[in-house]
Amino acid sequence: MKEVGQWSSADVCDWLSEEGMQEYVEALRQADGSALLRLSAQDFRGPPLSLVSSDSGRQLLERLETLRLAHHMHTHTHHHGNGHHGNGHALGNGTSKAHPHPHPHPHRHHNGLPKNGFHADQVHVKIPLPAPTPGPERFPAEWGKTGAAFLYAVCCFLTTSVVISVVHERVPPKELSPPLPDKFFDFFQRVEWAFSICEVNGMLLVALWLMQWMLLKHRSIVGRRFFFIVGTLYLYRCVTMYVTTLPVPGMHFRCSPKLSGRWEAQIHRIMKMIAGGGLTITGSHTMCGDYLYSGHTVMLTLTYLFIKEYSPKRFWVYHWVCWGLSAVGIFCILLAHDHYTVDVVVAYFITTRLFWWYHTLANQPVLKENSQGNLFARVWWFRMFQHFEHNVQGTVPKNYQLPLSWRALPWTRVKYSRLDSQ
């Protein structure tokens, strides 16, 4: 790697991204290595750095101290390596030859020593510098926490399936309670195959996100964020559809017969829905009542948000394709008349807000503290958030690497050669 003083502005941006401080990239886009080394605490008290820094630049300044030390050591080593000593010229064997003294008697020895008691030649003393002690890892994997978030999501999905079965028994017959008026249904006639398009788009987005997640370097942190957010969204969904049971959105619905307390049959129906992923195209979801709010909208929106958040901006074509899949899928939910418009609107609102709130808390160290001024600390899931994000220092970088099992394959191995530096 180049010495810090020779960095270009692009090198500075790459270093900031590698250190997980992407928030400074725009503000320091024109700064080269020398300008980076000159940054001080005073620079963070005014714009533009004060607008993007949440800790007055503390983390960045700490890393700059390490860069300054490395720069100083490199400059010092390079200075002496060229033979620029104070009293002589370097010879080929690494020794130095003193300049002739301008006075006629430069060396008056007394018992083999100079008169002043010092040696005539320079004496170089090597002072070993202590090795820097490695600090705590900024983005620890902590797969145990990821496993806990996964179990939390599974429990929320199971609870949702049970609640759907319970709510199904309370849905009024469509002959007695016809569908509620909906403005979208007034303008668009039902398209029978539209809901299949929605579910196909949802499966494509889930597959794309799964592949992208497997290639992320910090997949454990991102994974537990996804599991926690999707689990919480489905837990909220349990509450909304249980407290308010809406009639079916259309007369085309063919709901399964009510079981009237036959628990064994209900358990079998729940297991069938879980096995089929709760999808209509698999024939596993034949129950009614899970309208407020739309679970399909949750998955279409959430997968797109994670895909865009954890991929570089230069993948804009990929982002637009995923956005198109998400938008078309949500539109097809309404076009199929399988959800009321309010179901989709509420699902989109809750999904986006929870995603944005969680990542705002995770990216700002000051918001991770349970203080009087932090009103986010009053939300019920804040303790869980603190547990999952306590050791994550800064914004998670969008770095990619092959999974461990893939790196073991012979064609993915990279050969390295040892470089000895003097």
Query: Residue 293's closest CA among 332, 335, 235?
Result: 235
Give, in order, the Cα–Cα distances in Å from 72 to each of 65, 69, 415.
10, 5, 32
Residue 125 CA to residue 120 CA, distance in Å, equals: 15
Residue 395 CA to residue 60 CA, distance in Å, equals: 13
Residue pair 357/376 in contact (Cβ under 8 Å)? The answer is yes
Catalytic machinery residues: 296, 339, 343
Q: How many helices (H) and strands (E) does the chain have?
A: 14, 4
Residue pair 206/299 in contact (Cβ under 8 Å)? The answer is yes
Residue 413 CA to residue 196 CA, distance in Å, equals: 42
Residues in CB range of 349: below 8 A, 6 or more apart: none
Alpha carbon dihedral 337, 339, 341, 342, in 10-degree steps, equals 160
Residue 220 CA to residue 291 CA, distance in Å, equals: 33
Residue pair 107/120 in contact (Cβ under 8 Å)? The answer is yes
Burial class (CB in 10 A: 0-12, 13-18, 19+), 208: middle
Residue 364 CA to residue 385 CA, distance in Å, equals: 13
